[in-house]
Structure formats: structure tokens, C-alpha cells
Amino acid sequence: MRRVNILGRNLDPSELQKLKALLEQAGCVPNEVFVTDTAGPPDLHCDDEVFVVLLTEPVLAAIETQQEVAAVPNGGRRAICVWPEGAAPTPLPEAITNFSYSIVWWNADRLSSALANDDVICLDQPDGQPMPKPDPDHLECDE
């Protein structure tokens, strides 16, 4: 059983409705989509628990969102972040880049790929182009 949780804190009703419609276009059925304000503990009766985060300005600015995204991988869950439709490139908080399974642009096919749980990791900019590779934490020595 799959459970798709939308982190709804700091989303207005219009944003929430648009995200639900995108999830439906991506293949989610309404009875597997839930809205929550916190990640909470893992659902032990669910074999694929996903949290979807819409990367609006208020969401990105909220330290609580960053804490929730950091807690999502606890229990094998995945955080999938979605750029809002027409969003401009924005620097992402470290918790988003470090703990998100995927970051996708506003595209149902791309979201469907990230939701599929088949080890496809998507890291998109708002326009659908690949995100630049981050600098490594350390540099390899030449021998």
C-alpha cells in the first residue's frame, strides 16, 4: 500500500488543490493522498510512504518545514519536493537538498517517475533542467 502525504503547512487552499490535481495526473488515486502538517512517526502498515512538499516561498522560509523534511527519511520514507508551476530558481535550504529523495519541476510525468519507488532520483530546477551537481564534501587526492 502506498501513502502520499502532502506537507500542507504554509500552503493556501489554491496551492493545495493544484498540487492534488498534479498528483492525480501523476497517477495517484485520491484515497492514497493525505494532507498533514508534520511527518510524524512512520506508518508501520504502509510499505511505501512518501511526503510531497511544494516549494513555495513561505514553505522554504519555514524552519519547521526543513525540520519535517529532515525527519522524513526516518523509517525508509521518501520526501519528494515539487517546484510550483512557473517558479523562478531559488536557493534551497540545506535540509531540502540533503534529505529530499527527489526535487522535481511542475510536471506530472516527472513526478510520476519520482513516486514510482524504482530508484529513480530526479533533481530538477523549476524549468525542468537538471540541477547543478553540488560541490563534494571533500576532494579526492591525485596519486
pLDDT over 90 (residue 7): yes
pTM listed for this prediction? 0.91
The strand pairing partners of 124, in sequence order, are: 130
pLDDT at 132: 84
pLDDT at 1: 80
pLDDT at 102: 95
CATH fold of 2-115 = Rossmann fold (3.40.50)
- pLDDT per position as a tens digit, 56-107: 999 999 999 999 999 999 989 999 999 999 999 999 999 999 999 999 999 9
DSSP assignment letter at 30: G
Give CA–CA dist 9/111, Å, rounded: 20
Structural domain boundaries of the chain?
2-115
The grid coordinates listed for 142 are: 591525485
